[in-house]
């Protein structure tokens, strides 16, 4: 035990400081008594040899210490058994053979069902779990980037109290003392603040906790919460409910300010279902999407009819629609004015397609809209058909109200002990709660978190949390699907889970051992399932879902005596409107220290490393503002300085700001990026507020955007048509651009590709522009982050980029997204001009880049018409930070300064599949090779395969009449081709 | 044959015309082994000496051909035989692209042949030559013109030759030591 | 030399050598510049300044090697910037020398005699400056030798389809041939210096360099043959070098680069800028060293005429690019030209047109061609114009090509500028050393221009 304490000590010592100082602090640690104790455990011989006596011993000790606390320690597998997704090789880990493990990542009310790729015990890449109903194999930017979060050198690594590094034991003493006093008064002074609860085990623990300490209170709070939906449905259905959609059955979709297809765990299923209904020649006709929203979202970009309206005006439109479809108890509202036609078309479609439409409202919309939506769905027979109501997990709770109550209790001095797990209220709580100052009145404040952030700074104790990839837990999705979270790696640092923290609270006697989260979770589930718990457990771990938990829909019937009420609508003032949104890259701020996400071009603005006050061109003109102008946003006497960004398609007279920036603490990447929109977000108007004032400061802000030009200049870059036009004459697509020269039209004898001919088809119709492919590629291919300054110089390194074009008027443009990886041209212009043969063609048609041969003339990039090549102008790859090295894909070279790089079609995956195929003496099967971008895509927009095989999916897609090659008239003969975008506009609106 | 006591007899003149005349007269006198020195090239001079060397152009031609062939063969061998690569779907033997380098190597080798050939034929560099022993000869690179009848000429005789040269009324006459 | 057999032409133009000069005056006047003991203060000052500027170049190169070419303004899409612009500019300048020595020699233009020497020197130094850029602009300059075909353990060879490899051969060949041409021309003069120098070091050094030249009629005979052959070889070479440099662009598929007119119009541009630079140098030098007798108004006049002619060819090139963009009906080409006229770089473009097309038209006027100051200014204007031309070709074509999404913008960074001016420092430093230690005018060829050089026929 004492030895263990020594390890505790050395761990602390070793863990101080960030990744860069890691080794130095190690050397400092060497030759201390702690090390001696540590070595005694692992290397008895060295100790026998004595410490620090002579160079030889010293070197041995150094070697030992490095081995201990360095990579060796980091890549240890968890002690408990974890179950791989595919059958594990007989002799455990085979060097060079990646293993896949099913696990899950919680976010918001949802869950990502994941498969984690593990190299020699290091998780390096995450994929969607195809068997998980909420993922179906797709992922999004958050899930893809979360693996970087695991290795983030800025993660908190030690228990800290008043700036002092302390051992866990010291904390447990304090905690125990506090709990003892609370036990005497039934825990009346205890408050536990967590994020939205999705862990069944944690829920069980809390119930147990409460059953013992009845007066203890538990609060959920997240800035992006579902309060409005909850209230709206309560009113409309008379019971707590949440719902999810079955878009696969929807002929018509109406989204009221709802970013259905945007990132977030609940969007994956919808995206897959939606894109499934957008392909021509499917069994069911192409669906039609109506969207009414202020700020363009990926959902709005896909809409057949997008209405750019202020969030506050959505209610009137919803009401008009409800009245139009004869929703229960909705009296005919005033004509929706300018939007009358849109409403008319929507009503017509909804009534025409009973039981097979979906109407949905976003979390930002007030309860009234959610109630209206529920009533509309009822009226057109969607409830229980395409809209499945479910009991919200853990009863569902109003988070803002709950947090308000907590604040009151603090003022009333009722709170003695506040435990904050993960949630970061000091940053995210409504500003009128003045949480930071209230918090400091609490006698004992404990924070468990991944980072020492704004909240940790104000707490007595900061406890390092463990990343989900290193911890045991479970998580329940909105449709009830529950997954067990199994760790891929033993905790890098000495962190604990919230399960363990709660368990520690509940210890009767201080000498009791704190159970591990494995024990807690395992115990919970063995209580749930009678019979062979081991078989059940292994099965659950293997599949990544607990069988029998999926889709427990709650049947809602009209004939119950409950009469639906309308949730009363909150009157908005007038004047300029502001809406608060989660950021497409850093969400509510929790991902702010993730450099991949910070550098991800936001799907709509193409901004990196920033948030902005987004406004419509007309409004900018009226206010005399230009992109980059720094203004002061004043709301209810509060103010924040923000740079303006003009967004075509944004609703006029409204400003959209994204949350999660302007972080003061929480990592070197996060700090000082963007502005903190929470500073003007109040509990009374957490989503939509009017009466915003904009004051120019005369200052200018430099944005780093990856796309400066948003017009296609009349070039046939993105081709498209309406489904009607296309069905009338499929040639319409080919005729939109210049014909590519025939194979014979060349001076040179054509090169034959007889074996495999790898090719890719990208369906622009399915692509939503969510950019999951970009992050997936970055994770798979060890792509470096270059930072804001370099991005603003046009030196970003992404191998696949998602181009975004606006078409038509600046107020209501059509929005197109186009992923652009390397085209792997058969007649590659880049190869011919390379003086040293550093880029050449493989006999399977891959355009290969040989890093070690490249001298860096950049001629290839100049001569690439697609500009997909990326150059290491400096040493961009981080060669020094140890923890980041662990994330790297061992199958992909880490590039150095002065060499060109680009998309390889994930050649490492191609080679892997070919070797496997050769082992069992067959050819590679179609679908056996999936590049990272294709695998991440929730819409299945990217298809890769052997185009020599007429039966392959890619060959079939390329045979479609809407297939076209980008700039094919240059006779580059690209292997990557595109399937044109088809829209399905309402005939009535099209006429108008 | 026995090495003569001196290298030859050097006469100095003031103008190119005098030198050319002197050379002509010397030849008429039957002298063959002689050389003329001038601060700049004089067309008439080597004609008067009946000196013609046509080897240099041939050397240059050979150099050029060698360079051209060498260049093209290098390109062919490296891209077709030594390390064949599919570069942008172009054939291994993309002859049109091989022309520029071939041209350059041709010119390079021809030029080298011209210069080195010239130096070799002229026996340059030549650190030592007897005529430099005559102090006045320094003016050969400024404004004076010299005729040197060498001692190994069968007709050469210290007295006769000196008298013959006297008749050409040079500025000076001096014997050239070895 | 072929000149002596020519009868001096009777014309009213100023003579190519002032009357009253004899072999010795010519010899002494030119060699004095080199052999004088005391170094003029003006030279010291000028050399010091150029040397300082050269240090700026070395500092820049050091920084580039240590930190990487990210120091420059280049990016994706504009992968080439100042480095390539300035490379082409220097190479262009490097064309006048060999052109004057070779082509004018074959054309029997005897007025070339007094300017060919330092025009050749200028060529060498310009090519030396140019040579730095292709190496330094590499991402990994220490691997530049991979561009040469040499047997190696990797078994790798250069890609002979790449214009950059053609460049390597063209430029290195050009450098070698120009160097030989220059040195061969120097040998007789080195012999003169050997014999005229009264310092021991002078005698030894020049003696070694003169490799025992003694002006033998037989040597002169072969010497002239070689010199003529060299001239014959250098002439197509000069044309080929800038043709191949233009291939760097013409062979690519970029709008604004992919043009068949590039070779002739690059060569014309090269001669244009070359003569401009010769003039920029000749005018101050003849003034400073009082060599007006040898570099006469006749020379300046002729060079001005050449500039005017080549300038017009270049102008034709610009016109043709624009015409073809419209006539060819290629939307990308059309856009490119419009973008040149009105895009973000329109200022540079119209400045280029002013410098290279509009202003040089004054050279039609004799009074201007006879006015040293005016010519000097014109030469500077053309130098600037030609640099801008390459800037427009490289940057404007790259920054907006096929896909609007990947369009970008470019501006040179501090390191771009320091490299540009630093290279001028290197150029001037070499030039100052040259005029101090070597005869800047070919003495022996000047002798042939002296009237007595003619051999009068008289009966035996």
> Mind listing the pLDDT tens digit for each residue in B126-169?
888 888 888 888 888 888 889 998 888 888 888 888 888 888 88
Of A750, A827, A842, the CB nearest to B88: A827
Mutate to test the interface with A, among C405, C408, C414, C415 (most CBs of A within 10 A): C405
Rounded Cα distance, A302 and A292, in Å: 12
CA-wise closest residue to A898 among C33, C65, C176, C450: C65
- Mean pLDDT in residue range A280-291: 90
- Is the minimum CB–CB distance between B165 and chain C shorter than 8 Å? no
Q: Neighbours of B (≥3 Cβ pairs closer than 8 A)?
A: A, C
Rounded Cα distance, A854 and A813, in Å: 43
Burial class (CB in 10 A: 0-12, 13-18, 19+), B113: buried
| Residue B61: strand, helix, or coil | helix
Q: What is the pLDDT of residue A59?
A: 52
Give Cβ neighbours of residue B120 (< 8 Å, ≥ 6 apart).
none
Q: What pTM does this model have?
A: 0.89
- Mean pLDDT in residue range A280-294: 91
Give Cβ neighbours of residue A191 (< 8 Å, ≥ 6 apart).
A216, A217, A218, A219, A406, A409, A415, A417, A418, A419
HSE-CB at A664 with a 13 A cutoff on CA atoms is 13
Give me the tens of pLDDT residue by residue for chain C, a chain 460 residues long: 344 444 444 555 666 777 777 888 888 888 888 888 888 888 999 999 999 999 999 999 999 999 999 999 999 999 999 999 999 999 999 887 888 778 878 877 777 787 888 888 999 999 999 999 999 999 999 999 999 999 998 889 999 999 999 999 999 999 999 999 899 999 999 999 998 888 888 889 999 999 989 888 889 999 999 999 998 999 899 999 999 999 999 999 999 999 999 999 899 999 999 999 989 988 998 888 888 878 888 888 988 999 999 999 999 999 999 999 999 888 999 999 999 999 999 999 999 999 999 999 999 999 989 899 999 999 999 999 999 999 999 999 999 999 999 999 999 999 999 999 999 999 999 999 998 899 888 888 888 888 777 777 665 4
DSSP C35-65: H-SSPPHHHHHHHHHHHHHHHHHHHHHHHHH
Rounded Cα distance, C290 and A241, in Å: 101
Q: Is pLDDT at A45 greater than 80 in this prediction?
A: no
> Mind listing the pLDDT tens digit for each residue in A838-889?
999 999 999 999 999 999 999 999 999 999 999 999 999 999 888 899 999 9
CA-wise closest residue to A964 among A737, A751, A759, A744: A737
In the block, residue with structure tokens 């998309």: A903
Rounded Cα distance, A491 and A168, in Å: 15
**Exposure letters C335-349 (e unless 16+ CB within 10 A, then b):** bbbebbeebebeeeb
DSSP H helices in C68-199: 82-93, 95-98, 104-106, 113-136, 163-196
Find the residue in A nearest to C64 (Cα): A874
- Is the minimum CB–CB distance between B20 and chain C shorter than 8 Å? yes
User: Would the CB atoms of A861 and C79 count as touching at under 8 Å?
Assistant: yes
User: Would the CB atoms of C144 and A855 count as touching at under 8 Å?
Assistant: yes
> Mind listing the pLDDT tens digit for each residue in A92-108?
667 778 889 999 999 98
Find the residue in B nearest to C1 (Cα): B41
**Exposure letters C64-96 (e unless 16+ CB within 10 A, then b):** beeebbbbbbbbbbbbbbbbbbbbbbbbbbbbb
User: Would the CB atoms of C226 and B114 count as touching at under 8 Å?
Assistant: yes
- Is the minimum CB–CB distance between C390 and chain B shorter than 8 Å? no
Q: Dig out the tokens for A426 from the structure.
A: 């000091």
Mutate to test the interface with C, among B115, B125, B129, B130 (most CBs of C within 10 A): B115
Q: Is pLDDT at A68 greater than 90 in this prediction?
A: no
User: Would the CB atoms of B111 and C180 count as touching at under 8 Å?
Assistant: yes
Rounded Cα distance, A835 and A857, in Å: 8
> Mind listing the pLDDT tens digit for each residue in A157-177?
999 998 889 999 999 999 999
Query: Contact, A113 vs A129, CB < 8 A?
Result: yes
CA distance C177 to chain B (A): 6
Of B17, B71, B125, the CB nearest to C455: B17
Q: For the complex shown, is ipTM > 0.95? A: no
Q: Dig out the tokens for B156 from the structure.
A: 């050469």
What totals of helices (H) and strands (E) does chain C contain, helices first? 18, 0
Rounded Cα distance, B46 and B39, in Å: 14
Q: What is the pLDDT of residue A70?
A: 44
- Is the minimum CB–CB distance between B99 and chain C shorter than 8 Å? no
Q: What is the pLDDT of residue A419?
A: 95
Rounded Cα distance, A353 and C77, in Å: 50
Find the residue in B nearest to A831 (Cα): B88
Mutate to test the interface with A, among B88, B91, B100 (most CBs of A within 10 A): B88
Enumerate residues 135 to 174 of chain C having a beta carbon within 8 A of any beta carbon in chain A. Answer: 137-140, 143-144, 146-147, 154, 156-159, 161-165, 168
Q: Dig out the tokens for A359 from the structure.
A: 């109407």
Query: Contact, A812 vs A306, CB < 8 A?
Result: yes
Bridge partner list, A485:
A473
User: Would the CB atoms of C139 and A900 count as touching at under 8 Å?
Assistant: yes
Q: Are strands B145-150 and B8-13 parallel, antiparallel or unpaired?
A: antiparallel
| Residue A107: strand, helix, or coil | strand
Q: Which residues of B touch A837 (CB under 8 A)?
A: 83, 85, 87
Rounded Cα distance, A292 and A364, in Å: 13
> Mind listing the pLDDT tens digit for each residue in A555-594?
666 555 566 666 667 777 788 999 999 999 999 999 999 9
Mean pLDDT value across chain A: 87
Give the start-end residues of each E strand in A108-140. Answer: 110-119, 122-128
Q: What is the pLDDT of residue A307?
A: 93
Enumerate residues 176 to 215 of chain C having a beta carbon within 8 A of any beta carbon in chain A. Answer: none
CA separation, residue A753 to residues A453, A696, B75, C400 (Å): 56, 61, 25, 34
- Angle (CA) A478-A479-A485 rounded to 5° is 70
Whether omega for the bond prior to residue C77 falls within 30 degrees of 0, making it cis, is yes
Find the residue in C nearest to B138 (Cα): C195
Q: What is the pLDDT of residue A796?
A: 95
User: Would the CB atoms of C70 and A795 count as touching at under 8 Å?
Assistant: yes
Which DSSP letter does residue A815 get? E
Q: Dig out the tokens for A874 from the structure.
A: 């400096």
Which DSSP letter does residue A101 get? E
CA distance A979 to chain C (A): 18
Residues of A with CB under 8 A from a CB of B: 748-751, 825-832, 834, 837, 840-843, 973
- Is the minimum CB–CB distance between B117 and chain C shorter than 8 Å? yes
CA distance C184 to chain A (A): 34
Query: Contact, A132 vs A483, CB < 8 A?
Result: yes
Of C78, C158, C405, the CB nearest to A707: C405
> Mind listing the pLDDT tens digit for each residue in A296-354?
999 999 999 999 999 999 998 998 999 888 888 777 666 556 788 899 999 999 999 98
Enumerate residues 121 to 160 of chain B having a beta carbon within 8 A of any beta carbon in chain C. Answer: 121-122, 124-129, 131-132, 137-143
Mutate to test the interface with A, among B86, B91, B93 (most CBs of A within 10 A): B86
Q: Are strands A444-449 and A417-421 parallel, antiparallel or unpaired?
A: parallel
- Mean pLDDT in residue range A127-155: 93
Percent of chain A with pLDDT over 70: 89
Q: What is the pLDDT of residue A17?
A: 39
Rounded Cα distance, C314 and C299, in Å: 22
Q: Dig out the tokens for A91 from the structure.
A: 């002799």
A14's enclosing H/E stretch is: helix A2-15
CA-wise closest residue to B61 among B125, B117, B119: B117
Q: Neighbours of C (≥3 Cβ pairs closer than 8 A)?
A: A, B
Of B87, B88, B122, the CB nearest to C222: B122
A142's enclosing H/E stretch is: helix A141-151
Of A709, A855, A863, the CB nearest to C138: A855
Q: What is the pLDDT of residue A335?
A: 59
Q: What is the pLDDT of residue C334?
A: 93
Q: Dig out the tokens for A639 from the structure.
A: 């103010």
Query: Contact, C424 vs C133, CB < 8 A?
Result: no
- Is the minimum CB–CB distance between C64 and chain A shorter than 8 Å? no
Query: Contact, A909 vs A741, CB < 8 A?
Result: no
CA distance C250 to chain B (A): 13
DSSP H helices in A185-237: 200-212, 227-237
Q: What is the pLDDT of residue B151?
A: 86
Of C196, C213, C230, the CB nearest to B115: C230
Q: Look at chain C and count its residues.
A: 460
Q: Which residues of A touch B88 (CB under 8 A)?
A: 825, 827-832, 841
Q: Dig out the tokens for A28 from the structure.
A: 């400092």
Inter-chain contacts counted by CB atoms under 8 A, chains B and C: 215
DSSP A501-555: HHHHHT-SSTTSPPPPHHHHHHHHHHHHS-S-HHHHHHHHHHHSS-TT-TT-PPP
């Amino acid at each position: 035990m004492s030895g263990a304490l020594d390890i505790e000590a050395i761990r602390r010592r070793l863990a101080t400081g960030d990744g860069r100082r890691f080794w130095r602090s190690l050397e400092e640690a060497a030759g201390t008594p702690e090390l001696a104790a540590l070595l005694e455990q692992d290397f008895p011989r060295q100790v026998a040899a004595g410490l620090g006596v002579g160079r030889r011993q010293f070197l041995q000790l150094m070697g030992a210490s490095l081995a201990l606390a360095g990579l060796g320690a980091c890549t240890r597998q968890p002690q408990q058994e974890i179950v791989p997704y595919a059958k594990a090789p007989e002799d455990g880990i085979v060097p060079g053979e990646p293993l896949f493990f099913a696990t899950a990542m919680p976010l918001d009310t949802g869950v990502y069902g994941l498969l984690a790729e593990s190299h020699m015990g290091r998780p390096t890449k995450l994929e969607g779990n195809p068997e998980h109903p909420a993922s179906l194999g797709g992922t999004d930017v958050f899930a893809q980037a979360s693996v970087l979060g695991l290795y983030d050198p800025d993660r908190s690594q030690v228990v800290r109290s008043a700036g002092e590094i302390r051992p866990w034991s010291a904390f447990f003493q304090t905690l125990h003392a506090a709990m003892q006093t609370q036990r005497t008064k039934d825990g009346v002074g205890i408050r536990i603040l967590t994020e939205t609860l999705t862990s069944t085990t944690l829920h069980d623990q809390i119930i147990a906790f409460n059953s013992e300490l009845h007066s203890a209170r538990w609060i959920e709070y997240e800035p992006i919460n579902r309060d409005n939906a909850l209230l709206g449905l309560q009113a409309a259905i008379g019971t707590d409910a949440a719902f999810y959609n079955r878009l696969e059955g929807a002929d018509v979709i109406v989204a009221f300010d709802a970013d259905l297809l945007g990132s977030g765990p609940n969007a994956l299923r919808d995206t897959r279902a939606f894109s499934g209904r957008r392909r021509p020649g499917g069994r069911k006709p192409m669906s039609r999407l109506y969207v009414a929203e202020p700020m363009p979202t990926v959902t709005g970009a896909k809409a057949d009819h997008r209405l750019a309206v202020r969030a506050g005006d959505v209610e009137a439109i919803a009401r008009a629609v409800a009245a139009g479809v004869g929703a229960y108890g909705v009296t005919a509202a005033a004509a929706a004015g300018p939007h009358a036609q849109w409403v008319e078309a929507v009503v017509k479609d909804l009534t025409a397609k009973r039981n097979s439409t979906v109407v949905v409202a976003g979390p930002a919309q007030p309860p009234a809209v959610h109630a209206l939506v529920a009533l509309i769905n009822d009226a057109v027979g969607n409830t229980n058909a395409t809209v499945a109501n479910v009991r919200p997990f853990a009863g569902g709770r109003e988070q803002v109200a709950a947090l308000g109550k907590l604040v009151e209790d603090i003022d009333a001095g009722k709170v003695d002990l506040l435990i904050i797990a993960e949630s970061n209220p000091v940053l995210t709580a409504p500003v009128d709660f003045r949480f930071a100052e209230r918090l400091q009145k609490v006698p004992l404040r404990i924070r468990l978190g991944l980072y020492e952030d704004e909240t940790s700074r104000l707490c007595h104790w900061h406890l390092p949390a463990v990343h989900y990839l290193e911890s045991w837990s479970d998580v329940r999705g909105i449709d009830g699907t529950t997954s067990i979270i199994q760790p891929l790696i033993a905790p890098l640092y000495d962190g604990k889970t919230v399960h363990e923290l709660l368990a520690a609270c509940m210890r009767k006697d201080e000498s009791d051992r704190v159970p591990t989260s494995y024990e807690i979770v395992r115990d919970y589930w063995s209580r749930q399932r009678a019979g062979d718990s081991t078989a059940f457990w292994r099965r659950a771990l293997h599949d990544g879902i607990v069988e029998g938990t999926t889709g427990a829909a709650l049947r809602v019937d009209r004939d119950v005596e409950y009469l639906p009420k309308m949730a009363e609508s909150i009157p908005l003032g007038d004047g300029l409107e502001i809406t608060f949104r989660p950021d497409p890259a850093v969400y509510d701020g929790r991902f702010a220290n993730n450099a991949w996400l910070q550098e991800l071009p936001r799907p709509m603005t193409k901004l990196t490393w920033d948030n902005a006050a987004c406004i419509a061109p007309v409004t900018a003109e009226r206010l005399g503002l230009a992109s980059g102008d720094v203004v002061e946003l004043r709301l209810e006497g509060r103010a924040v300085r923000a740079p303006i960004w003009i967004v075509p398609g944004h609703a006029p007279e409204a400003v959209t700001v994204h949350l999660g920036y302007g972080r003061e603490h929480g990592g070197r990447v996060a700090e000082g990026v963007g502005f903190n929109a929470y500073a003007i977000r109040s509990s009374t108007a957490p989503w939509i507020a009017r009466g915003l004032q904009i004051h120019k400061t005369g200052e200018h802000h430099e944005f780093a955007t990856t796309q400066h030009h948003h017009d296609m200049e009349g070039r046939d870059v993105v081709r498209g048509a309406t489904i009607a036009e296309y069905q009338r004459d499929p040639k319409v697509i080919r005729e939109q651009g210049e014909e590519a020269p025939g194979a014979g039209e060349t001076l040179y004898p054509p090169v034959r590709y007889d074996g495999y001919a790898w090719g890719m088809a990208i369906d622009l119709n399915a692509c939503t522009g969510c950019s999951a492919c970009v992050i997936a590629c970055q994770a798979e291919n060890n792509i470096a982050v270059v930072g804001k300054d370099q991005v603003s110089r046009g030196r970003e390194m992404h191998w696949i980029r998602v181009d975004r074009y606006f078409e038509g008027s600046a107020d209501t443009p059509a929005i197109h997204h186009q992923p652009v990886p390397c085209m792997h041209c058969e007649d590659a212009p880049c190869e011919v001009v390379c003086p040293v043969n550093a880029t050449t063609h493989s006999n399977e048609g891959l355009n290969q880049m040989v890093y070690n041969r490249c001298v860096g003339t950049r001629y290839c990039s100049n001569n690439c018409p697609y500009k997909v090549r990326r150059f290491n102008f400096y040493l961009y790859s981080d060669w020094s930070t140890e923890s980041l090295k662990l994330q790297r894909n061992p199958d992909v070279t880490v590039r150095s300064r002065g060499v060109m790089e680009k998309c390889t079609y994930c050649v490492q995956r191609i080679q892997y599949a070919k070797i496997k195929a050769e082992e069992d003496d067959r050819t590679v099967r179609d679908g056996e090779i999936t590049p990272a971008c294709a695998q991440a895509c929730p819409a299945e927009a990217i298809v890769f395969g052997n185009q020599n095989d007429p039966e392959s999916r890619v060959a079939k897609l390329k045979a479609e009449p809407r297939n076209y090659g980008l700039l094919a008239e240059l006779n580059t003969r690209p292997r990557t081709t595109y399937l044109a975008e088809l829209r399905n506009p309402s005939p009535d609106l099209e006429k108008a | 044959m026995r090495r003569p006591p001196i290298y030859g007899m050097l006469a100095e003149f003031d103008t190119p015309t005098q030198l050319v005349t002197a050379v002509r007269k010397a030849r008429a006198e039957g002298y063959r082994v002689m050389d003329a020195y001038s601060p700049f090239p004089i067309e008439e001079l080597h004609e008067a000496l009946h000196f013609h060397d046509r080897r240099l152009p041939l050397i240059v031609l050979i150099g050029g051909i060698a360079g051209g062939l060498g260049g093209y063969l290098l390109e062919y061998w490296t891209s077709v035989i030594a390390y064949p690569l599919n570069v942008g779907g172009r054939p291994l033997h993309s002859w049109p692209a091989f022309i520029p380098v071939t041209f350059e190597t041709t010119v390079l080798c021809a030029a080298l042949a011209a210069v080195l050939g010239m130096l070799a034929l002229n026996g340059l560099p030549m650190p030592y030559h007897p005529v430099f022993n005559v102090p006045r000869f320094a003016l050969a690179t400024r404004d004076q013109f010299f005729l040197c009848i060498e001692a190994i000429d069968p007709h050469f005789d210290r007295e006769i030759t000196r008298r013959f040269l006297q008749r050409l009324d040079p500025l000076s006459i001096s014997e050239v030591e070895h | 030399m072929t000149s002596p057999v020519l009868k001096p032409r009777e014309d009213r133009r100023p003579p190519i050598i002032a009357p009253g000069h004899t072999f010795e005056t010519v010899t002494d006047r030119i060699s004095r510049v080199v052999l004088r003991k005391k170094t003029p203060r003006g030279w010291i000052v000028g050399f010091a300044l150029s040397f300082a500027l050269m240090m700026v170049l070395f500092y820049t190169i050091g920084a580039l090697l240590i930190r990487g070419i990210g120091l420059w303004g280049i990016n994706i899409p504009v992968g080439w910037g100042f480095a390539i612009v300035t490379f082409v500019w220097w190479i262009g300048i490097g064309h006048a020398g060999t052109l004057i020595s070779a082509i004018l020699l074959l054309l029997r233009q005897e007025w070339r005699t007094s300017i060919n020497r330092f025009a050749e020197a200028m060529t060498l130094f310009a090519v030396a400056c140019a040579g730095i850029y292709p190496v330094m602009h590499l991402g990994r300059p220490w691997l530049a030798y991979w561009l040469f075909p040499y047997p190696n353990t990797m078994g790798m060879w250069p890609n002979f389809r790449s214009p950059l490899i053609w460049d390597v051969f063209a430029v290195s060949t050009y450098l070698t041939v120009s160097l030989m041409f220059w040195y061969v021309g120097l040998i007789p003069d080195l012999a003169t210096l050997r014999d005229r120098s009264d310092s021991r070091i002078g005698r030894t050094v020049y003696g070694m360099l003169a490799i025992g030249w003694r002006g033998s009629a037989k040597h002169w005979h072969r010497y002239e043959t070689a010199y003529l052959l060299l001239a014959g070889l250098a002439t197509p070479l000069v044309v080929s070098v800038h043709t191949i440099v233009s291939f760097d662009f013409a062979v690519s598929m970029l709008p604004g680069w992919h043009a068949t007119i590039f070779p002739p119009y690059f060569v014309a541009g090269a001669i244009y800028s070359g003569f401009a630079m010769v003039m920029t140098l000749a005018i101050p030098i003849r003034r400073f060293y009082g060599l007006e007798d040898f570099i006469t108004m006749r020379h300046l006049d002729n060079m001005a005429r050449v500039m005017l002619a080549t300038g017009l060819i270049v102008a034709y090139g610009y016109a043709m690019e624009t015409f073809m963009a419209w006539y060819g009906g290629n939307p990308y080409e059309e856009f490119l030209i419009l973008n040149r006229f009105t895009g973000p770089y329109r200022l540079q473009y119209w400045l280029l047109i002013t410098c290279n097309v509009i202003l040089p038209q004054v050279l039609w006027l004799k009074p201007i061609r006879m006015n040293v100051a005016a010519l000097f200014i014109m030469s500077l204007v053309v130098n600037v114009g030609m640099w801008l031309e390459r800037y427009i070709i490289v940057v404007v074509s790259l920054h907006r090509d096929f896909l609007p999404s990947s369009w970008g913008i470019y501006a040179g960074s501090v390191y771009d500028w320091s490299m540009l001016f630093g290279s001028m420092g290197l150029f001037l430093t070499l030039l100052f050393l040259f005029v101090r230690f070597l005869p800047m005018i070919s003495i022996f060829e000047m002798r042939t221009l002296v009237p007595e050089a003619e051999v009068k026929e008289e009966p035996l």
